[in-house]
Amino acid sequence: MPLEFRFPDVGEGIDAGELIEWHVAVGETVREDDPLAEVQTDKATVTIPCPTSGRVLELRAGVGDTVAVGAVLAVFEPAESAAAPALAAAGAAPEAAVAQARPRALASPAVRRRAAELGLDLEQIRGSGPGGRIELGDLEPREQRVVPLRGVRRTIARTMTEAWRTIPHIIDYREVDATALLRRRHELREEATDESVRRALTITPLLLRIAVGALRHHPYVNASIDMEREQITLHSEYNIGVAIAAPQGLVVPVVKEANTKPVSQLALEVAALTAAAHEDRLRPDQVRGGTFTLNNFGSLGGWLGTPIIKPGEVANLGVGRLQERPVAVNGQVVVRPIVALAVSGDHRVLDGHTLAAFVSDVVARIESPSSVT
């Protein structure tokens, strides 16, 4: 009997996903747990495995379609049915019998993901690599064309549109002397006995620890607003999103309960989440539940920016690139490492003085970071 495989619940309350790529074709013979499809849920890509060994009879969705949990994703002829066709359901066998497996284009998973984002059929592309393998460069447009909005880019577009339409942003800009912060990072690296911790101790985990310390004294910054219920929730957990520029687009994995972790653990966790983001293997639960966002665009060379508040939060701390600048200290001009901060707040929850008090607390902790442990 044909087996209908339904899109499973991949966790964290997901009720639908966008089909990014099929790894099989109608008529192909597969084994149980072979990759079946790539599905995008929020900002995480999930590989759905084949539920059985046998032959693929039908694929019920196309690339770019939104598939609801519980909807039929594919139909299989299990291996035992394939061995005994007399047991197959009437009407299903003749159609399946004429299905032929087609050769798949030679391409890496990264190329397949990019082709899916661009809405390209790899079977129609001539590869320039060895043996006709399709390379990323082969996907580049040769002329102007319309590119479908798919995957992470579509999620980003929708989220940013909602954020800019519904959240009235106010922004507090500061320049801060980071001399003591860099000294503290050096001390922490010297104290670390694990080489992986030393490598992971960038400025970001120190700033994350500083942000958490300030948030504990400014509860309305670690909050969310529900306009329909007309209520503000002051969160007791400090789940800090860290904005990462991944190849597939901007993603914001979340460091859960950051207030309970020392800076060494935060450093390792941020490094692990960054690697997972760049390899497109973040789980759905790793991009959910944030209460505040840290955006270190200085790592990309940006000096100053405009952080956009993620819906469901009320603030975003943007950090620019460290630059040596001449500044006046005790009447003398000296060169100091200066970092620019841009902190966005939701004006429905935060007034200017509330946001300024939080930013001033962050500045004080950067200039005197001895409590960062």
What end-to-end distance do the CA atoms of the chain give, in Å?
61
Give the ranges where the chain is alpha helix by DSSP (H).
Answer: 79-83, 92-97, 109-118, 151-166, 179-191, 195-200, 203-215, 263-278, 352-367
pLDDT at 89: 40
- Which of 209, 199, 196 lies closest to 240 in space, CA to CA? 209
pLDDT at 100: 38
The whole model's pTM is what? 0.69
- Residue among 235, 351, 353, 361 flagged as catalytic: 351
Take residue 189 and report the two structure tokens written for it.
């690296």
Known catalytic membership, residue 278: no
How does pLDDT run across 211-225, given as a tens digit for each residue? 999 999 999 999 999
- Which of 89, 129, 112, 101 lies closest to 20 in space, CA to CA? 112
Cα separation, 276 vs 267, whole angstroms: 14
What is the overall mean pLDDT for the chain? 88
- Residue among 218, 347, 353, 361 flagged as catalytic: 347
26 Ramachandran zone, left/alpha/beta (phi>0; psi -120 to 50): beta
Percent of the chain with pLDDT over 70: 90
Q: Which of 67-76, 93-102, 118-127, 189-198 has the lowest mean pLDDT?
A: 93-102
Instruction: Give me the domains of the chain, ranges plus CATH numbers.
Output: 3-151 (2.40.50.100), 168-371 (3.30.559.10)
Q: Over 90: is that where the pLDDT of 94 sits?
A: no
How does pLDDT run across 16-64, given as a tens digit for each residue? 888 888 999 999 999 988 889 988 876 577 888 899 999 999 999 998 8
Known catalytic membership, residue 351: yes
Cα separation, 325 vs 232, whole angstroms: 41
